[in-house]
Amino acid sequence: MEAPGWMSKVTHKTVETNGINMHVVELGTGPTVLLLHGFPEFWYSWRYQIPALADAGFHVVAPDLRGYGETDAPKDQSLYTTLHIVGDVVGMLDALGETKPVFVVAHDWGGVIGWDLCLFRPDRVKAIVGISVPYAPTMPGPSSTQFHTEQLGEGFYPNRFQEPGRAERDFAKTGTKMSLMKFLYAGAREIFIAPPHQELMESIAPPPSQPSWITDFDIDYYTKELERSGWTGGLNYYRNKDKTHELKAPWLKAKLTTTALFVAGSEDLVMKFPSLKDYVYKDLKTYVPNLKDIVVLDGGHFIQQEQGDQLNKVLIAFFLDHTA
């Protein structure tokens, strides 16, 4: 299967930022929309949004985040806190000559980075759409790893990702393509918890069929990029969750003042976490007082791919309402 036609129109750049080289894809002219991907993805995860936003009159910027795709992946595991990644993003915007605040669309781990961009540098963000992962202020108490272990057990997937090399061996045994399919299909709707004495990928059934929103070209392109970059960079985000928690102590219980929208899939695994759904509907606006709405679309975790057209309508309407 051939590449989508719009791919020949995008511009690929490599910019120096925060001590690394970052790969960036751009398309369109107008107000800038920054797209921040999650795990285990790269810029192409936004394949349904990039041409639609450009056609709607926006300048789209979609980087490969640190550790992913064609962007550098430092070997030092400690260099993957959200402060490092936000630093990359700010430096990238500077390198691209973005002097005005930008719109941000951020999914999964990109959502964590997007919210922290608003927290650390609110002057750089005009409005944000967080997808799947809501803003969660730093709170006193146990680390997220300890909390997740108490709530969901040692087999919960972020806990399994903590040991260097373990998940990498699991993915290698399963194969890159099948590991991706398990994440993109089963991972869209299930909470990954491996039984004792069983590895994560072994505990997840293969998808019964290829989802309609993933073409053969898509999965082959994903596989090629992951085989190039490896899994370790993305896994290092998880391995720095507790360090990030420590470093964010100055922002304890901090509220975000940025104009925001939160979007999730009705079957999103994140919305199945204990008490998280209640937090989204009851408490999120307390910490994001300029939250304009909560939008739930029919689908799972990778809603930007599963319901590309519906999400595009939401994004374009929201950004047009806030374009001054």
**Out of 44, 157, 222, 238, which one is annotated catalytic?**
238
In angstroms, rounded to a whole number, what is the distance separating the alpha carbons of residues 215 and 136? 34
Please identify which residue in the block is written with the tokens 């272990």.
149
Residue 315 to residue 304: CA distance in whole angstroms = 10
- Separation CA 59–CA 27 (nearest Å): 6
Alpha-carbon dihedral 69, 118, 80, 142, rounded to 10 degrees: -140
Q: Which residues of 67-81 are buried (b: 16+ CB within 10 A; e: fewer)?
A: bbbbbbbeeeeebbb
CA distance 137 to 145: 16
> Are 81 and 4 spatial neighbours (Cβ–Cβ below 8 Å)?
no
For 151, which DSSP code? H
Residue 12 a catalytic site member? no
3-state secondary structure 164-186: CCHHHHHHHHHCHHHHHHHHHHH
- Residue 129 CA to residue 200 CA, distance in Å, equals 31
- Nearest C-alpha neighbor of 294 from the set 318, 258, 275, 321: 318
* Residue of 64, 72, 88, 108 marked catalytic: 108
> Quick check: is 108 catalytic?
yes
Reply yes or no on whether 278 is catalytic. Answer: no
Which among 84, 148, 245, 301 is annotated as catalytic?
301
Residue 107's DSSP bridge partners are 131
The DSSP secondary-structure symbol of 112 reads H
Give 93-98's long-range contacts (Cβ < 8 A, gap of 24+): 93/34, 93/61, 93/124, 94/17, 95/15, 95/16, 95/17, 96/13, 96/15, 96/24, 96/26, 96/61, 98/32, 98/61
The distance in angstroms from the start CA to the end CA of the chain is 41
Tell me if 167 sits within 8 A of 206, measured CB to CB.
no
Catalogue the active-site residues. Answer: 108, 238, 301
